[in-house]
Each structure stands twice: as C-alpha cells, then as structure tokens.
Amino acid sequence: MYKSSFQQKPRALRFNHFTRKGYALFSVLGKEVTIGVLSVATLLAAAPCLAQGSLSLPQQYVPTASDTVNVGEAEVTALRAATRLADMPALQAKRLSRSDLEQAGVTSVNDALKLVAGIDVRQRGPMGTQTDISIDGGTSDQVAFFLNGFPLQNAQTGHNAADFPVNLSDIAFIEIVEGAASALFGTGAFSGAVNIVTQRPLSSSPNLTLNVQGGSYGTFLSELRGAGALAQHSLGTSLSASYRRSDGATLNSDLRGGRFFWQGAWDASDFALDAMAGTTLTDFGANTFYSAAYPDQWEATKRIFVGLRGRSKGRVSLMSEFSWTRNIDHFQLIRHTHTAENFNLADNYDAALRATAALRTGTVSQFLALSAEMRFEDLRSSNLGRAVDTAQWQRVAGQDAIFYTKRISRENISFTLSDELTWRNLKVDARLLVQHNSLFGRGFSLYPALHLKWTPRPGWALYASYNKALRLPTFTDLYYKSPTQEGNTSLRPEKNSALRIGASYTRMGFNLSARLFYSRATDMIDWAMYAPDNVFHATQFSLDNYGASLDANISLQQLLGSRQPIETLKLQYAFLYQHRRGDLSHIYKSNYALEYLPHKLTASLSHRIVSRLGATWSLRLWQREGNYLLYADGKSTGELRPYGTHAVLDCKLTWRAKHWTAFADLQNLTATRYYDIANVPQPRFFALFGVEVRL
C-alpha cells in the first residue's frame, strides 16, 4: 500500500447533464465530480455499453446487484487501477457475465468456457476435473490464468491449472483475451488469458446463499456463501465453501473434493486494500491421464492460494501486490500401487509494484503505467528436477519413507511500460515487456505490443493489434519420465508473433463482432509418438495459425419488449487452420498441439415458458482435427481413429422466486457419444437437479 506524496487535489466538477459521447467518461479522469444522487443500479444498467469491445471495469469496482446508494453531495474521484487486467479500451476481449453462468447450467468454470467458440475445453472427468483449456489452437500450457488479476500459473504442468480455488457463487464475471498477450499478462499468455473476477464483498447488507445439486452417476454438489459489510460499507468480507463428489460416467473417473474461498476488502478515501485466500482439494480416478495403456491411474491434488493488494487513489496511483500459490499432487500410474508413483510440491511466489498516471492535454488523454514484477517458481519432487544431496531430502507429508529427492527452481524478472493515448475517436495502446529468466538465457528479451481502436461513428469500433509472446517450458516438459512419457531438458522457450484485426457494431439490444488473426509460432512444444508402440516424447516444431471468429448477441426483450417470451439469442463461430512448417512425417501421433478444432459453433437461446419458469438451450457443434490411438485391454491396437464432428444439446430449466431458485440441468439431450481425450468416452446423457436459497 503506497500513498503518493506529490499528488495534487483534483479540480472539482459538477454534472448538470450527461453526454452520450464515447469519450465522455474519460474526460473526467483525475478530477473530482459532485453528483446529487448516485445509484449503483444505474451503473449496472450502463455497464454493457461501457465495457463493449474491451475488458470490463477492474475488479475493484464491481458492484453487487443489491447496491443502491443515495448520497447527499458525494465526491467521486475518477480512478483507474494499475493491474495488468485493468480496463483496456483498445483491446477486443470477451466476457462471461454472472447471468451467463446462471443461465447455462454450469458446475465449474471449465463448463462455462465451453460456451466460447475460440476456446477448446478437453475434459476427462466430471465437474471440470482433469481439464485442458486452450485458446486459438494452442495448448493448455499456453494460457495464462488469473484470479482477480493474481496469477494462478503452475510451473510444474498446465494439466491442473484449471483447478481454480474459488467457488461459482463468488464469481462476478470471467474475462477472456484471445491471442498472444505477454506484454499485458506476462510470459504465460502465449495464446490467451483468462481472468476470474469475484464479487467484491462491499454489499449494502449481509447475505447468505446455499446451493445444493444432485443427479446422474452419483453426482452431488453443495455450496454455501456468506458476505457482509461494516463501517458504512467501506469494510467487507465473504466466505464460501463447497463439496462435490461423483462416481463418474466412465470407468475410473470417480471424484470427490472441496473448495474454500475467503475475501476481504477495505476502501478508504485515499487507498484500497484487497486480501483473499482459497484452497481446493481433489481426489479422482485419472482415467488414461498420461496414456491409455494405463486406464487405472489415480491422482490427488491440493492448491493453496493467497493474494494481497494495496493501492492508492488519485491521478497518480501506486500499487503493490503479492501472491503465493502452492500446488501439491500425488500421482499413481496404477491405482493403489507404487508403480511410477510421483509426489510433487510446487511453490510460486509473485510480487509486483505498479505506478500509473492519468494525464490530459487539450483533447488528448494519456494513461501511463510502469510495473516491475518478480516471480519465483520452486518445485520439490520425487521425479521432476535435478537430484539433490540426501541431506537436502524433504519427507513427503503423510508418507513414512518417501522423500522429495529432486528439486528445480527458476526466477523470472520483468518490467512493463505502457502508454495509452486517447484522441477523439482513436485509442492507441503501446506496451513493452522486458523479461529475464534464470534458466533460459543470461540477458533480457523484449516483447512489444501495439493495440489500436478506432470508432468512426457511434456504435462502430475497429481494432488492430500486434503482439509478441513467449512461454517457458514446464518442469514436466523438461524432466518428466515414466513408462509412457519422456521429457526433454533441451527444450527452448516457445515464441509467438501474432497479428489481429477485428470490428464490432453495437446498438440497443444487439451486438455483432468479428475477428481475424494470424500467429507465427516457433519452438512449439508437444508430446509426440514416432511409432504405434513408442512412448510420448517432448519435442518442438514450428506452426502457423490462421483463424476467424464471429459473435452475435441479441436481446429480444430490448428489441421487441418484455412481453414476448424470448429473452436472448447468442451465436458464436470460430474457424482455425494450421500450417505446420517443416517435415513432420516422422511424427506418428501428436498428443496436444496438432489436435485442434478447425470449426466450432455455439448457440444459446433463453426464453420464458410461464411467468416464473424459463429455459436456456445451448448447442455446441465442433470438429476436432487429428486421430486417437485405439487401445483394448490396456494394449495398443495400432489403429488410429479420427475424432470427427459432434454436436451436443443442453437445456437448463429454471423456476425463479424471490428468495429461491429451483432448476434442472439436462446435458447432452442428443445422447451423443464423443471423445474429448483419446479412449475416454464422455457421458451420453447427464442430469442435475438443484435448488438455490438466498437470504
């Protein structure tokens, strides 16, 4: 927490009327504004217009639906946070709102991301277990994940990165950036980034939410969240807990686990403080996790997260933040045996200082930001890393005679400079990441980014961007060795250069957006077989990705009135083509990078059946490139089968009352048999029934 010693008191203005110009909000940056009556509900109604075509407002300003504040003669200082995920008007991004999550009938963040056409979600188990998430034809290791702007990366592996230490009831919205974005999100954002933003606990009154669900395959979920505020709503806290279990829809896909998340917030006149902590514990049957030759794999994971952020308010703002993430996992290649058994404990520490300044000269607004970040990644393992002396062995907690005998660590230092200019209907955002890693190279590397947004007329926006990105190999890529896989310590960091153009059109009740992109990647890391009876080897190659996407969101109630039954219609389509540079004829089968989605279409329709009963229909149609190697009784048949094209139709029925909601979540109504991962069939039909009570 820092307070500027050279901050000047801004000149006060008073609003007599509001203009509909797109730049009106930015004209008051760094100035005090007096408003007779302020209703946060009004801000909620205006939010879709303000956020269109860009990342939404920073998490620090997310209101809750119950917040309506009337004040006599309040002074509001226009402010902008200095996080990497701060509002970037020049960035074309996507957002899943809380209503999107509620309507879709999701049991995890991973389920929600399936609704985005540009995201590939490959799931092995129920409720988001063992899920690989990739964007724009990348791999699960190439996506940067954040919780309220704090990094959730796991240097050990990306397979468990989506085990988020937060409950669905905590989430306000999810921000998604597609494409390379290292200058904005750090080294992990090789092909995109996902930021989960929670509800800040400064609501007008204490509230309590209880959600209970049960259904197919012995599935049961329960979740409880409480939140409240003190000191005239400047101090608030929330706490949530959940439990989940399932027998699984396929052999050896059972699951049990829980999540806990606490958040505290304190707002003063000249500074704000946010603190949060979460944990997730999961025990699951890892059917064919690393190879279909061993269908009876098992894993238990634990993640602990702590984040703390303090920031000053004003025209010049200073921010400091710190986060710690611990990932613990226990893996067995054959369940209840010690065959290829692994124990890993990974600690990730991230500290950052950021400074921002909002300036204005005539008709030009400028927003400057400078940040310095240090990240330390440390792994103790029984399998990954470099062997250490016996005197440095550390006993595995809960095990009598098993030790972490290997260790590997690396430090990443980065500096980011950004300058955003706004002149009339043009916005220019230029950024530069200067990065050094202790394991790869001795000097600093430069990764620039340039984002442009032009609004030629009201409702229209044109975008263009260029980004360079990198991704460091995980410790699994480098060191993992088992009867089915072999890492490679000679791997180099992945590099990516990406061009992107887009356009959007918005009017009352209607939004249409389109994107085209090209990325040129070198040293792409994948696990590949060279023969049907071979193990998977960590290897590298070069790849060009060409893609396009089209989104349409229509609010029929705004266009045609609230009396007609149809509420919203959403359509998304994404196209992807890969050109693999170099000779890949020696690769018999790719495990990740070359099994992308050339086509994906999603459609969602929400409508009212009777006064309180509504339905949301969700259709996903996709084609997966590549083939999977068919196994029988744990042995390879030598036969490659194409993944093919599949369609899945889901429906959620909801009955809404004042203090409770009952729902039926019916998934895969078409009973489609399909595979996200080789030899792991997904359930043909899945039903959940539940109730949510709000006090």
The three state secondary structure string of 397-410 is CCCCCCEECEEEEE
Paired tokens of 486? 């072999």
Closest CA to 43 of 18, 26, 60, 68: 68
d(CA 447, CA 682): 40
Helix ranges restricted to H, 462-536: 475-479
Averaged over 356-367, what is the pLDDT? Answer: 91
CB burial of residue 7 (10 Å; 0-12, 13-18, 19+): middle
pLDDT single digits (tens) 528-572: 888 877 888 899 989 999 999 999 999 998 888 888 899 999 999
Please check whether residue 663 is in contact with residue 653, taking contact to mean a CB–CB distance below 8 angstroms. Answer: yes
Could you tell me which of 148, 150, 151, 135 has the C-alpha nearest to residue 190? 135
pLDDT of 422 above 90: yes
Q: Examine the pLDDT at 72 and tell me if it is beyond 70.
A: no
As given in the structure block, the two tokens for residue 456 are 């030629």
**pLDDT tens profile 235-261:** 999 999 999 999 988 888 899 999 999
> Tens digits of per-residue pLDDT, 196-238?
999 988 866 778 999 999 999 999 999 999 999 887 778 999 9
Residue 104 CA: distances (Å) to CA of 100, 109, 693: 6, 11, 18
Asked which of 37-41, 308-312, 649-653 is least confident by mean pLDDT, the reply is 37-41
- Within 10 angstroms of residue 386's Cβ, the number of other Cβ atoms is 11
The whole-number pLDDT of residue 471 equals: 92
Let me know how long the chain is. Answer: 695
Alpha-carbon distance of 667 to 317, in angstroms, equals 47
Q: Which tens digits make up the pLDDT trace of 109-152?
A: 888 898 899 999 988 777 777 788 999 988 889 999 999 999 99
Collapsed DSSP state (helix, strand, coil) of residue 583: coil
Which value, in Å, is the radius of gyration of the alpha carbons in the chain?
25
Q: How far apart are CA 684 and CA 695, in angstroms?
A: 36
Q: What is the DSSP string of 111-166?
A: HHHTTSTTEEEEESSGGGTTEEEEETT--GGGEEEEETTEE---SS-STTTT--SS
Q: Which residues pair with 663 in a beta bridge?
A: 654, 690
Q: How confident is the model at residue 520 (pLDDT cuts 50, 70, 90)?
A: very high
Our CA dihedral for 417, 374, 198, 35, rounded to 10 degrees, sits at -40
Supply φ then ψ for residue 70, to 5 degrees. Answer: -105, 125
Q: Are 104 and 604 in contact (CB under 8 A)?
A: yes
φ, ψ for residue 501, nearest 5 deg = -130, 150
Question: Do the beta carbons of residue 672 and residue 646 sit within 8 Å?
Answer: yes
Cα four-point dihedral sign 133, 607, 203, 7:
positive
Q: How many other CB atoms are there within 10 angstroms of residue 511's CB atom?
A: 18
More confident residue, 508 or 502: 502
pLDDT at 405 over 60: yes
pLDDT at 46: 34
Q: Which of 82, 189, 118 is nearest to 449 (CA)?
A: 189
Question: What does the mean pLDDT of the chain come to?
Answer: 84
b/e sequence 68-95, b meaning 16+ C-beta within 10 Å: eeeeeeeeebbbbbbbbbbbbbbbbbbb
Give the residue from 105, 127, 131 showing the smallest Cα distance to 246: 127
> Is the model more confident about 462 or about 398?
462
Residue 307 clears pLDDT 80, i.e. is over it: yes
Listed residue (402, 403, 404, 287) closest to 335, CA to CA: 287
How many other C-beta atoms lie within 10 A of the C-beta of residue 618?
Answer: 22
Q: Which two tokens stand for residue 308?
A: 């703390």
